Amino acid sequence: MKNQKGKVAIVTGGARDIGKAVSVKLAEEGVKVVINYFNNPDDAKETQDLIHSFGGESIIVQGDMTKKADVEKVVSEATKAFGSSIHYLVNVAGGLVARKTLSEMDENFVNLLMRLNFNSTFLVTQACVPFMPAGAAIVNFASQAARDGGGPGAAIYAASKAAVMTYTRGLAKELGPQGIRVNSLCPGMINTTFHDEFTKDVVRQNVAAATPLKREGRASEVADLVAYLLSDEASFLTGNNVDINGGLAFS
């Protein structure tokens, strides 16, 4: 990624794990970063402090990306701080919440996961696009689970991420004539607190052993790929759902 000084990015869920790595990577390239977080201001402050330690520019904006008013607040704060253009959007915010089988879940749980993973992507993208000039780019976050149906108790999570994949393709067609590219990532087993919370150690070990590279991925490796997809070097890539899983699964 060439120097991006003067460009502005919003990173939802940008305070920890993959979101943190993305925020820091973009700031290292000269991008002014809007770090959105939901419920942990300490994580957001830590990420901002790291960015400011090497002279990067960022602001922190709290908000629930499933709520339109909060989304509009994030966009408003971004344009107030850094001007009227948003060049990059990275939709990291999302989650699994809990592993539940068909008999354990109810309609409220299904709706929650759809709002968290799909509706959030829709709402933030809808709010940002009016401020995105030609040459802008969006990276959404799907999951390997969307490719293979996910692990035990993750069927609705997988379905919500599959919706992100399909929406990415549709947006690429819709926004391409405006010069805006849209891609998504489908991460596999990445070493983050997501798996610390939701995946048993023995499962992680087995997955790593089954991966051709024999390890979990790193958040920094995902951030490097995000930076590439946003950059001019990827200027003819749009509508792609890009796997990053160490060779565990092929699309």
Active site residues: 157
Alpha carbon distance 218, 48 (integer Å)? 20
Could you tell me which residues are beta bridge partners of residue 89?
10, 138
Residue 77: C-alpha distances to residues 8, 44, 73, 104, 108 (Å):
12, 15, 6, 40, 32
Angle between helices 17-28 and 219-230 (to 10 degrees): 50
In degrees, rounded to 5, the angle at the alpha carbon of residue 68 between the alpha carbons of residues 64 and 71 is: 55
H or E stretch at 182: strand 181-187
Alpha carbon distance 175, 137 (integer Å)? 10
Backbone angles phi, psi at 236, to 5 degrees: -110, 15
Alpha carbon distance 236, 234 (integer Å)? 6
Alpha carbon distance 185, 95 (integer Å)? 15
User: What is the 8-class DSSP label of residue 190?
Assistant: B
Residue 121: C-alpha distances to residues 129, 142, 228 (Å):
12, 10, 20
33, 14 contact by CB (below 8 A) = yes
